[in-house]
Amino acid sequence: MVAVEPSTRYQSASLVKLLVGIAATRAGTAPARVTRMLRDSDDRVASLLWGELGGDALPGRVAASLGIAGVGPPDIWGRWGNVLLSAEDLVTVYRYLLTDMPTLLTPLLNAPRTAADGFDQHFGIPSAFPGPWAVKQAWGTSAQATTAHTTGIVADRYVVVLLTSHPPGTSFHTATTAATAGATALAPHLP
């Protein structure tokens, strides 16, 4: 295992959609909605499911069910991308998906280059590893930071979580380039 500050929590941006996907699947939500939210990183679907499945109480409830302590609501009501998650939290989520909910990995295996909002989500893991990979990417801006996160399962056996936070106003190009550089540096260490 390679880890640097694995317990530091960052604004999750779209990574919280993994928790939404777990909640939605447990609630019997139509799989097509969950697939679109995860595969295409569709914010509209995520916002609808967030409201339907408990809103700001959702991340703490799902995290606690996975044995993850300390995950709370976003700092701004309804702004799900502000939920704070750490690399350790996300490793726990991916381990759960691998063992208990592998159907949620299928959308991640089929993540297209272009997300629902037009963003190129093939930075980080998809640019650094030949595959196969199942990824959930995240990007966002707030008054506190610009984030670009790359996470997923690589070569059907490694959980990779690389979270980056940059000063407000940092371009997405700079943030995603940094995430790709980090993933590229890690790649030779995974045989």
Q: What is the CATH number of the domain that holds 41?
A: 3.40.710.10
Residue 69 falls inside a structural domain: yes
Residue 87 falls inside a structural domain: yes
Share of the chain above pLDDT 70, in %: 99
Residue 145 falls inside a structural domain: yes
Q: How many domains does the chain have?
A: 1
Q: What is the pLDDT of residue 191?
A: 77
Average pLDDT over residues 105-112: 98
Question: Domain range spanning residue 130?
Answer: 9-189
Average pLDDT over residues 39-55: 98
Q: What is the pLDDT of residue 5?
A: 86
Residue 27 falls inside a structural domain: yes
Residue 174 falls inside a structural domain: yes
Share of the chain above pLDDT 90, in %: 94
| Cα 56–Cα 62–Cα 67 angle in degrees, nearest 5 | 130
Phi, psi of 69 (to 5 degrees): -95, 155
Torsion of CA 163, 73, 32, 116, to 10 degrees: -50
Residue 102 falls inside a structural domain: yes
Residue 1 falls inside a structural domain: no
Average pLDDT over residues 129-156: 96
Q: Of 75, 71, 76, give the one whose Cα is nearest residue 9.
A: 71
Residue 3 falls inside a structural domain: no
Cβ neighbors of 2 (< 8 A, separation 6 or more) are 186, 189
Average pLDDT over residues 111-120: 98
Q: What is the pLDDT of residues 55-75, one digit of tens each?
A: 999 999 999 999 999 999 999
CA distance linking residue 2 with residue 189, whole number of Å: 9
